[in-house]
Amino acid sequence: MNAAQSRTMVAKNLFTVNRTLNSVKQSSKYASVVIRKHSVWTEDRVIKSPYKEVELPNVSLYNYVWQNLDRWPERTASVCAVTGRGYTYEQAFRLSNRFGANLRTKFNICDGDSVAVMLPNLPDFPLIAMGILAAGGVITSINPIYTAHEVQRQLKMSVAKAIVTLPEIVPVIKEAFKIAKINIPIIVVRTNNNPIPEGTALFNELSEDIHTDKSVLRQVSRNPNDICFLPYSSGTTGLPKGVELSHRNIMSNCEQINDPLLSMHNETTANHQDCVIGVLPFFHIYAATVLMFHKLSIGAKLVALAKFQSETFLKTIEKQKTNILMVAPPLILMMASHPASTEKIFEHVDVVCSGAAPLAASDVERLFQRTKRDIEFRQGYGLTETSPTVSLSPKGSKRYEATGPPIGSTEIRIVDSDLNNLGPNETGEILVRGPQVMRGYRDNPQANTESFTADGWFRTGDLAVADEEGTITVADRLKELIKVKGFQVPPAELESLLREHPSVNDAAVIGVPHQSKGETPKAFVVLKDGHKCTERQISEFVNEKVAAYKHVDDITFIDSIPKSAAGKILRRVLKDKYC
């Protein structure tokens, strides 16, 4: 098939995309830049964005991502960093549509139904995500290293109607089914010639079935305010909660980072295609929005790295001529110190963007010592609840520790403990309002009341300071989450497991600095009277129930847990006394 025939076929298949986006493609508003001339600080001490207001087409995220597909059908959409197995944009569109149609016809997935995706970064991941959206479903992503205990909780809370995973993960999922007393279809992705587990369906067959009736997709009816993505986050405290992100939330965030003064990508043309490594997990909001959905919408090449290994990651940067690196602080630290990290590795890298946790300017400088040049470096701030980006340092910024002012259509307040607005150079909690802020936590009115003010501002639980220009520097976290390699570890979850041990009377968990992980959990345990137990026994009891990044290997036995009059654990007291 030549290029002309390929473009014709894609154009014929885009029955929903072209119908809704013809008028949008004629608009020049996407390229307009309007920069505020007045101060970003209002008289009421609210920080307004200096960037253009975001305007969105009245479509779903599915239509938004595919809107310019006819410009790059033969370009690579996703490819495996190790095997080279991958898909062109034309193949990704066609296969994801067939998968979506089969979700509706063979698995009875209806508009608004949740479909769980428990996969590492595979080139198939974007196809599966887009297929779920094509079917009118909601993606609920699960960390593939989760235990059965963790999986069953999310399956029940999300009311998932099916799950997509790897054959080797099926035993964990079936154990989760037993715990939760549920039974839903399991769809597996075959990456080799091994047989698939009995009783499962094969994604490869569902997506490649040429007899699939794709006309059922015309029955899908989703509007921008409907939920499309349901990741689970611990918010400011407690156990994981379903974060309801709408099509509008994620599309807004994609458009916000498209601003010409903020964008980190280049136009896909006959002579150029950006290359981005998918090393951050696609099941996490940072990679889901900023890497997967956004990069598909601009025709970039996604290189999927299923399992992180330092040397493989570095070699992939060089081999793929990667020009955009989207990473988290632990990767910055690794690249700045690994023996194989050389000037040649980063030869084609134009921009590095760090997110998920604060990063010091000195760490960036150490990276530049490896690259032998000052690569464009950007730092972003955001949360799962904000799709995720709230602020991003602009092009050319040399303030490496800062995350810039709020992005387009976004407002920020820095407040004290009584929610009174603070001014420039005063440290307080960040409150956010904008089109990327979640609709709320699923089926959790108490958490929503605690996380939103009466007038609709989202409380991030993060401490920051903003200067006279509205540039934000994140100082610390009010919330108690521990960030291990960018992943959120809620102390409450580990404390609950610790207290389940027959010899434990009480427990508290805090995050302590770790050279390679950023932070790691440290537990304080009070034993029951007359009981004896070792650190190793307690660690094994907890660690077999949680993913590896949540493991508790640092335990201190104490006589009592310091608590406030209201019974809240005084974690700062523990840090000051023992750390």
Q: What is the residue whose two structure tokens read 């995500």?
A: 129
Q: Quick one: pLDDT band at residue 234, thresholds 50, 70, 90?
A: low
Work out the mean pLDDT of the chain and round it to a whole number. 91
289 lies in some domain: yes
Q: How far is CA 208 from CA 57, 99, 101, 531, 575, in A?
A: 31, 8, 11, 60, 55
Q: Quick one: pLDDT band at residue 542, thresholds 50, 70, 90?
A: very high
350 lies in some domain: yes
The 10s digit of each residue's pLDDT in 285-320 is 999 999 999 999 999 999 999 999 999 999 999 999
Of 137-141, 269-273, 567-571, the poorest mean pLDDT is in: 567-571
Reading the block at residue 547, the tokens are: 């993913």
CATH of residue 529's domain is 3.30.300.30
Nearest to 208 by CA among 131, 140, 284: 131
At 526 the three-state DSSP class reads: strand
Domain boundary among 392, 416, 431: 392
Torsions phi, psi of 233, nearest 5?
-135, 155
Nearest to 394 by CA among 379, 375, 413, 372: 379
What is the model's pLDDT at position 568? Answer: 67
454 lies in some domain: no
At 313 the three-state DSSP class reads: helix
Q: Quick one: pLDDT band at residue 259, thresholds 50, 70, 90?
A: very high
152 lies in some domain: yes
With a pLDDT cut of 70, the percent of the chain lying above it is 91
DSSP per-residue string spanning 433-493: ESTTS-SEETT-HHHHHHHB-TTS-EEEEEEEEE-TT--EEEEEESS--EEETTEEE-HHH
Q: Are 497 and 416 in contact (CB under 8 A)?
A: no
Q: Are residues 382 and 486 in the same domain?
A: no
Compute the average pLDDT of residues 60-64: 98
CA distance 522 to 510: 5
8 lies in some domain: yes
Compute the average pLDDT of residues 204-230: 97
Q: Is 32 a residue whose pLDDT tops 80? A: no
The 10s digit of each residue's pLDDT in 112-155 is 999 999 999 999 999 999 999 999 999 999 999 999 999 999 99
Q: Are residues 146 and 10 in the same domain?
A: yes
Domain boundary among 392, 419, 441: 392
Compute the average pLDDT of residues 378-397: 96
The 10s digit of each residue's pLDDT in 410-464 is 999 999 989 999 999 998 999 999 999 999 999 999 999 999 999 999 999 988 9
> Which residues lie closer than 8 Å to 138 by C-beta, 6 or more apart?
112, 113, 114, 115, 132, 158, 227, 228, 229, 230
Q: Is 350 a residue whose pLDDT tops 70? A: yes
CA distance 141 to 288: 10
Domain boundary among 370, 392, 414: 392
162 lies in some domain: yes
566 lies in some domain: yes
Q: Is 17 a residue whose pLDDT tops 80? A: no
Beta bridge partners of 232: 242
Total structural domains within the chain: 2
409 lies in some domain: no
Q: Are residues 110 and 228 in the same domain?
A: yes
Q: Is 505 a residue whose pLDDT tops 80? A: yes
What is the model's pLDDT at position 416? Answer: 93
Domain that holds residue 511: 482-578
Give the residue with greater pLDDT, 335 vs 19: 335
